[in-house]
Structure 1
Amino acid sequence: MKTSIYLIAFTLLTIISCNQPEEESPSIDIASPVSVIQVKADQLSRFTIATGNAMPDQEMEIKAKLGGEFHLKNHPDYNRPYKLGDRVKAGQPFMEIKDREYVNSISLEAKKMNLELAEKTYLKQKSVFEKGGVTERELKNAELEVTSAKNELENAEIRLEKMKMEIPISGVFVEFPHYTPNSIIEQGAPLGKIMNYSKMYIDVNLPENTMKEIKIGQAVQLTNYSIPDDTLSGRITEISPAIDIETRTYLAKVRFSNPKLMIRPGMFVKTLIKVNQKDNIIVIPKEIIISDQTGKRVYVVEDNTAFERVIETGIENGDMIEVLSGLEENERLVVKGFETLRDKAKVKILK
């Protein structure tokens, strides 16, 4: 009987204890470590990037003006025949065609003598005309003979000049066909190609939405992927007014100096063109912005508490972005540790 009474009492105590409300454990708000920067006004530029192939400002293909026996001159700086890759200067002796039969057919000395005789005849006729011994028509015919003799001599000299060629432009030989010394070549045979790439240009296609902002004379920065640490400066010199209906771009020409010849003809070059710049605006790193369907937000710290700020942004470049609203100067902006923050969370600023 006592055992039953004890069992009943134990059961009642168990039921009562189960129905007792549990005491709430005190919540612990752990301060999250963050790094902050002070919001300041700054300058921000927006750029557009375009690529193209660098081309020499001057290039010329040399062809034989006459056929005949080909003789290549020595390069005056190296005392050896010209070869591919040589730097050359305009006016240097380059090659000579030898053809005795061609020279004889020109009869240069005979044409000099003919001119001399025509000039003497004219002077004699002029003296006689002043005394009334010949007509004006006879004097004019003598003068015409002088003019014809001069033209014939000049044409002969021009034909002979074609047998010798000088370097037409300063630059570098980028093509140089090989001919066996003293071989016979035909008129029009290719003798080489020279490019002067100390000054170059690039044709670039720019987005339609930049047309109002990009002007002739605008500065351009240029880099090549194989030499990314070297930047050259250029300018826009020409702009097409027409938009390509397929690409929605327009053509512009960028010219630049290449004094060290680091950029070679045909190289793929990237251009960086400033299309907009704003001064005295709030600028923050793009990477700290949290974006979702509700908009863009960042966190600022006041009294060791993080506060969420919804922001509106403006222009941007590769790393930074303009803040139009939502932030004020001198606020402390969270730049590290923001990923797990929530509004009004406690934070600890790391030094």
Structure 2
Amino acid sequence: MKITNFYIISIVALLGLSACNNQSADSETEVAIPVSVEDLKPSFIEQTINTTGTVTATQEATLTTEMGGRYYLATNPRTGKPFRLGDQVAKGQVIVKLEDEEYTNNLGLEAKELNLKISEQTYTKQKSLFDKGGVTQSELSNAEVSAVNARDSYALAKIQLEKMKVRAPFKGVITELPHFTAGTKVPSGTEVVSLMSYEQLQMEVNLPEKYINKVEQNQNVRVMNYTLPEDTLQGVVRELSPAISTETRTFKGKLSIENEALKLRPGMFVQAEIILDRRDSVIVIPKDVIVSNQRGKSVFIVQKGTAEQKQVTLGYEDQDKVEITSGLKTNDRLVVKGFETLRDRSKVKIIK
């Protein structure tokens, strides 16, 4: 019986010693987890509001004929061909011309121009004679009245003749150009061309009530469109409403967007970022490396081949990044890949 107990005790001792040896071996052969790190450097982050909307032209007009006449489309000096859809026009440029010989003859522009020259010459002569005492004040005044009347008559005739031309009221682009056969007579009031100016665009947005004391006029805006993934246009907050909608709990704003290259077109749906504030020389990290647990937010850094879990406090954030106001410092080696399986004090191997 004593011999049996001796064997049992010996076996238990050997098993215990073996377990200790295995545990020690496991500890010594702990596998280092491969991770990628990023050395933290001072950076910047902006506090923004993301919003969406449709951009519209700052100026648009549909031009109609003021007089009736035979229709002729003017030639675009840039192309040497008649104007067409999409052509750019300068302010004051003639797009459509009307012709009506009877109307033009009745204006008598040439006769009125000649009468103006004669009247002005007569007035100049009478004034010279008056200075020498050769004519009375009444005769000089009559000559002056005749010259003024001739000048007004000639100016009015030019205005009436100008109504036979349709000019661009602003620099813009032709967006509609109804077809009329050259020489066809069209009546007054006929719509002949539509223009838009969109070198600068505008956009109306609805902003959440909580930002009413943060959004201000002239704050910078970035504008993106899915058809222009590589281009970001700049703008500013131009107008803000002080009133909040009781139905949507939002307030209205108007954005002005620079579009000199005409990359955006009126009617496009775009995303805009209103920049409320910017912080420079701060620690900024990717959002997706942050681990959430019962104690709060944390990340992993590497020191001497070991992962250390650091509790962090968050500040400003944008779509992809977030500011760290406490918990990290410059030159910390932040784990950006492989952190999912880490624990505090895990052994790690840094890879690219």
TM-score under structure 2 length normalisation: 0.77
Q: Comparing 197-206 with 39-48, which one deviates more in the overlay?
A: 197-206
Q: Which residue matches 1:236?
A: 236
**Partner secondary structure for residue 229 of structure 1:** coil
**2:179 aligns to what SS in structure 1?**
coil
**3-state SS of paired residue (2:102):** helix
Task: Give the SS at the match of 1:178.
Answer: coil
Map of 1:235-314 to 2, 5 A cutoff? 235-236=235-236, 238-240=238-240, 242-245=242-245, 246-259=248-261, 261-302=262-303, 304-314=305-315
More displaced 10-residue stretch of structure 1: 125-134 or 29-38: 125-134
Q: Provide the C-alpha distance between the structure 1 equivalents of 2:164 and 2:80, rounded to a whole number of angstroms.
A: 22
CA separation of 1:256/1:113 partners in 2, compared to 1, >3 Å: closer, same or farther?
closer
Q: Would the alpha carbon gap of residues 179 and 339 (structure 1) be closer, same or farther in structure 2, given more than 3 Å must change?
A: same
Separation in 1, partners of 2:165, 2:301: 79
What amino acid is the match of 1:258? E
- Say if 1:342 and 1:123 are closer, same or farther in 2 by CA, change over 3 A: closer
When residues 241 and 171 of structure 1 are mapped into structure 2, their CA distance, relative to the original with a 3 A threshold, is closer
- Local SS of the residue matching 1:54: strand
Q: Report how far residue 21 of structure 1 moved.
A: 7.5
Residue 101 of structure 1 is matched in structure 2 by 102
> Paired residue for 2:228?
227
SS at match of 1:228: coil
2-side partners of 1:296 and 1:231: how far apart? 33
- C-alpha deviation, 1:31, in angstroms: 3.5
Mark the CA change 1:311 to 1:63 in structure 2 (over 3 Å): closer, same or farther: same
Q: Provide the alpha-carbon RMSD of the alignment.
A: 3.6
Over the matched positions of the two proteins, sequence identity in percent amounts to 33
Is the 2:204–2:252 Cα contact (8 Å) retained in structure 1?
no
1:156 aligns with 2:147: no
Tell me what 1:317 maps to. Answer: 318
> Taking structure 1 as reference, are residues 311 and 120 closer, same or farther at Cα in structure 2, changes over 3 Å only?
closer
293-302 vs 112-121, which moves further: 112-121
In structure 1, C-alpha distance between the alignment counterparts of 2:266 and 2:202, rounded to whole Å: 10
Q: Is the 8 A contact 1:284 1:322 kept in 2?
A: yes
Runs of at least 5 residues in structure 1 that lack an aligned partner in the other structure: 1-8
Distance 1:130 1:302 in 2: 107
Question: Residue 317 of structure 1: CA displacement?
Answer: 1.9
Q: Report the CA distance between 1:176 and its aligned residue.
A: 0.4
1:78 aligns with 2:79: yes
Q: Deviations over 1:236-272 (max 9, x none)?
A: 162325243334244142231422x322222222233
CA contact (8 A) 1:40 1:329 kept: yes
2:239, 2:254 within 8 Å by CA — same for their partners in 1?
Answer: yes
Give distance in 2, aligned partners of 1:125 and 1:119: 10
Matched AA of 1:255: I
Larger Rg: 1
Q: Distance in 1 between matches of 2:324 and 2:285?
A: 7
Query: Per-residue deviation at 1:158?
Result: 1.2
SS in 2 for 1:280: strand
SS in 2 for 1:102: helix
Local SS of the residue matching 1:298: strand
* 1:43 shift after superposition: 1.7
1:172 alignment counterpart: 173
Going from structure 1 to structure 2, the CA distance change for 1:185 and 1:339 (only over 3 Å counts) comes to same
**TM-score of the superposed pair, with normalisation by structure 1:** 0.77
Matches within 5 A, 1:104-143: 104-112=105-113, 115=116, 127=129, 136-137=137-138, 139-143=140-144
In the other structure, the counterpart of 2:327 is 326
Which has the larger displacement, 111-120 or 306-315? 111-120
Look up the match of 2:43: 43
Go from structure 1 to structure 2 and tell me whether the alpha carbon gap of 1:121 and 1:265 turns closer, same or farther (over 3 Å shift). Answer: same
